[in-house]
Amino acid sequence: MRKHQVSITWLTKYFRDHYESHPLTEESPEDEKERYARVYLIGMIGGVFFSKKSSNLLSCGWLKIILGSWKEMGEYSWASACLANIYHNLCNASLKAVREVGGAMFIVQFLAWEHMPWIAPVQRLDGDWPIDHPLRGEAYGTKWLGHTTCDNLAQHKLDEYRRRFERLWEGEVTSIL
């Protein structure tokens, strides 16, 4: 544990080892199921939705929320908090000296692919998740499940992306509204 932060890597490894030797079952006590759910939330909050650039440290402030009451947790506006965190991380990333970005960048990636088709991978019809799979469309990101190809992209080079963004025309970005 660093100052006011806990290592998610350590925590998830500890509980993974514990649950491999003591698997959770239907008959497991409720407090054990609750503990498992809270550890899962810690991993999701600290490692996915509110991750820091290092992606392995969680502020102890989050623990107070996660270890609190389920009712109170359900009353938080998690989507708003996640979006605010994304904006905060994007603002920090715009500074010239910053080389990494934290937060739920997969959401930014999905939005970019949706509204700037020239950077999106091309979906292929083969693979485990064909375009007409019944689970597609259930959640926003499922559109991008399965096999894609990146042949049409700007060779995944940062300089090329920057040049492309600098020369954007109005019609190259579809409306978000």
Taking only the tens place, the pLDDT of each residue in 106-150 is: 888 888 888 887 777 776 655 555 566 666 566 667 666 665 666
What is the C-alpha separation between 98 and 137, in angstroms, rounded? 35
Q: Model's pTM, two decimal places?
A: 0.71
User: 38 vs 22, 63, 70, 132, CA distance in Å?
Assistant: 17, 9, 10, 35
Contact between 82 and 93 under an 8 Å Cβ cutoff? The reply is no
Q: What is the pLDDT of residue 161?
A: 74
Distance from C-alpha of 131 to C-alpha of 135, rounded to nearest angstrom? 10
- Mean pLDDT value across residues 52-67: 81
Per-residue pLDDT at 80 exceeds 90: yes
Average pLDDT (48-62) is 81
Lowest mean pLDDT among 4-18, 85-99, 112-126: 112-126
| Torsion angle (degrees, nearest 10) of CA 29, 35, 38, 40 | -90
The answer to whether the beta carbons of residues 15 and 39 sit under 8 Å apart is yes
Cβ atoms of 145 and 124 within 8 Å: the answer is no
Structural contact between residues 62 and 30, judged by C-beta atoms closer than 8 angstroms: no
Which tokens belong to 152?
């049409």
Distance in angstroms (rounded) separating the CA atoms of residues 126 and 146:
8
